[in-house]
Amino acid sequence: MRLLPLGVGDAFAARYYSTCLAVEHDDHWILVDCPHPIQKMLREATVQAGLTLGPERIEAVVLTHLHADHCSGLESFAFFLRFVQQRKLPLYLHRDVLEELWQGHLAAGMRHLQPAVGAPPIEMHLDDYFDVHLLEEGRAVPCGPFSLECRHTLHHIPTTALRITAAGQTLGHSADTSFDPTLIEWLSTADLVVHETNHGTHTPYSALAALPAPLRQKMRLVHYPDEFDVEASVIAPLRQGELVDVAKSQRV
């Protein structure tokens, strides 16, 4: 399993794109979260990594929550798939995240489509653009060659962390969360743990830096602020466009 960060920043970032991960196994690619401008992010990261990976190769999006720095690319990405590729976007998310996805986020821009110039708009629905698959705590959900597990985090709005497993390897991702030792314990069974860090109600770097060394060694940071000192960090930050092999990722 391989991991390609398309963005590593937070909602206020000027230096980075918003945090978004492309995950691959056996040439199957999925995205974890989908911020704007997703296609530019995908292009720049794959060029940097020496990959040829266009949007047509993305088989699904796993969505952690509805803050714009995680979900603002869904509208344009789903429109692209509909009009250019004539397909729906498979979307994996918890029911609590799904609840406000359409009425609270997407409907304003996607509810109406004109079938032709001057024609009256037709009414569209979430299912016209997306194939929705619900994640559930305590149950692994298949997604191509991947198996997806979720767990709620401590955040302003419903948010789920993830464990993504393929061929015996597991990638953990905290999504956005306050510092939560029980969540870190849940993530720690993974071979590689991607964890957020930021200000306010987010997870402070100092709390993660105080974790036991074996855990820090298999942890990578994302969602860090522009001023975060990536060189001084005792936990390796992920970098945009840096291809990471999950099996070989432990620092020694």
List contacts with Zn ion (CB under 5 A).
Answer: 67, 176
* Residue placing its CB nearer to Zn ion in the complex, 156 or 251: 156
- Least distance CB 67 / Zn ion (angstroms): 3
Tokens at 52, concatenated: 């040829």
Q: Does an H or E element contain 14, and which? A: none
- Least distance CB 177 / Zn ion (angstroms): 9
State how far the Cα of 110 lies from the Cα of 245, in Å rounded to an integer: 37
* Residue placing its CB nearer to Zn ion in the complex, 18 or 249: 18
Q: Quote the distance between the C-alpha of residue 81 and its chain's center.
A: 18
* Residue placing its CB nearer to Zn ion in the complex, 67 or 82: 67
* Residue placing its CB nearer to Zn ion in the complex, 10 or 24: 10
- Least distance CB 203 / Zn ion (angstroms): 12
Please answer whether residues 216 and 242 qualify as being in contact, where contact means their C-beta atoms are separated by less than 8 angstroms: no
Please answer whether residues 112 and 122 qualify as being in contact, where contact means their C-beta atoms are separated by less than 8 angstroms: yes
- Least distance CB 198 / Zn ion (angstroms): 9
* Residue placing its CB nearer to Zn ion in the complex, 67 or 94: 67
Closest to 160 measured CA to CA, from 247, 104, 96: 96
- Least distance CB 174 / Zn ion (angstroms): 11
Please answer whether residues 216 and 210 qualify as being in contact, where contact means their C-beta atoms are separated by less than 8 angstroms: no
Please answer whether residues 216 and 205 qualify as being in contact, where contact means their C-beta atoms are separated by less than 8 angstroms: no
